[in-house]
């Protein structure tokens, strides 16, 4: 029953909004691997395709007169099988995203949309924290008691710091749909390692 209620919430927010707008989304990549990309939404383990764009002047531009619904969207590669990155339509429907060669959140620059800027900032912070925690976990395995104790303290400090950061971001930007959904799907069913909990839940349940 819990899963059904949560799925209804995300579908209501992302597919059946009260307000819709036209769009112009520009995607630039440091090292584009495809000559065409697709704009889609997740639904369970499938993509619902909305638009496509050919690479032109070093950019992919999704532009249409039809109305896009407020919610979480994804860029899909030329194979139509792999998600490159998620982003949001949340108030602003004309903006640009730049991806460096890593295609990781910490390598994304946003222009024209604070909802996406804060979403990628949040995901980047969490991504870097996980990398730091992996290094700490290696030190925790040390047979040297002093090294292990220092690593344990570092792990506790990082955990507390990230909890405070996440709570702060969800409180400060609770008007944005990404943070509403992150909070909604912050359950035991969704692993902490997942950056976009809303999309994980939608593709797994």
Kindly report the three-state secondary structure assignment for every residue of 126-167.
HHHHHHHHHHHHHHHCCCCHHHHHHHHHHHHHHHHHHHHHHH
Task: Give the pLDDT of the chain (205 residues) as one tens digit per residue.
Answer: 444 444 444 444 444 444 545 899 999 999 999 999 999 999 888 999 999 999 999 999 999 988 888 899 999 999 999 999 999 999 899 999 999 999 999 999 999 999 999 999 999 999 999 999 999 999 999 999 999 999 999 999 999 999 999 999 999 999 999 999 988 887 655 455 555 545 444 443 3
Among left, alpha and beta (phi > 0; psi -120 to 50; other), residue 71 is left
- H helix or E strand, kind and range, residue 200: helix 197-204
- H helix or E strand, kind and range, residue 66: strand 60-69
The verdict on pTM exceeding 0.85 is: no
How is residue 92 written in tokens?
């602003």
């Amino acid at each position: 029953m819990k899963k059904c209620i949560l799925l209804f919430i995300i579908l209501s927010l992302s597919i059946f909004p009260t307000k819709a707008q036209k769009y112009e989304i520009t995607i630039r990549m440091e090292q584009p691997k495809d000559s065409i990309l697709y704009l889609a939404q997740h639904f369970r383990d499938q993509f619902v395709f909305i638009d496509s764009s050919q690479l032109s002047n070093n950019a992919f531009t999704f532009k249409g007169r039809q109305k896009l619904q407020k919610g979480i969207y994804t860029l899909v590669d030329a194979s139509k099988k792999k998600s490159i990155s998620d982003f949001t339509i949340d108030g602003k429907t004309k903006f640009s995203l730049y991806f460096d060669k890593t295609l990781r959140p910490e390598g994304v620059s946003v222009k024209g949309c604070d909802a996406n800027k804060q979403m990628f900032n949040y995901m980047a912070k969490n991504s870097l924290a996980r990398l730091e925690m992996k290094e700490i976990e290696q030190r925790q395995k040390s047979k040297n008691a002093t090294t292990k104790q220092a690593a344990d303290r570092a792990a506790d400090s990082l955990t507390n710091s990230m909890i405070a950061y996440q709570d702060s971001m969800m409180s400060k930007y609770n008007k944005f749909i990404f943070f509403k959904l992150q909070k909604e799907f912050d359950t035991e069913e969704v692993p902490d390692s997942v950056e976009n909990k809303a999309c994980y839940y939608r593709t797994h349940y």
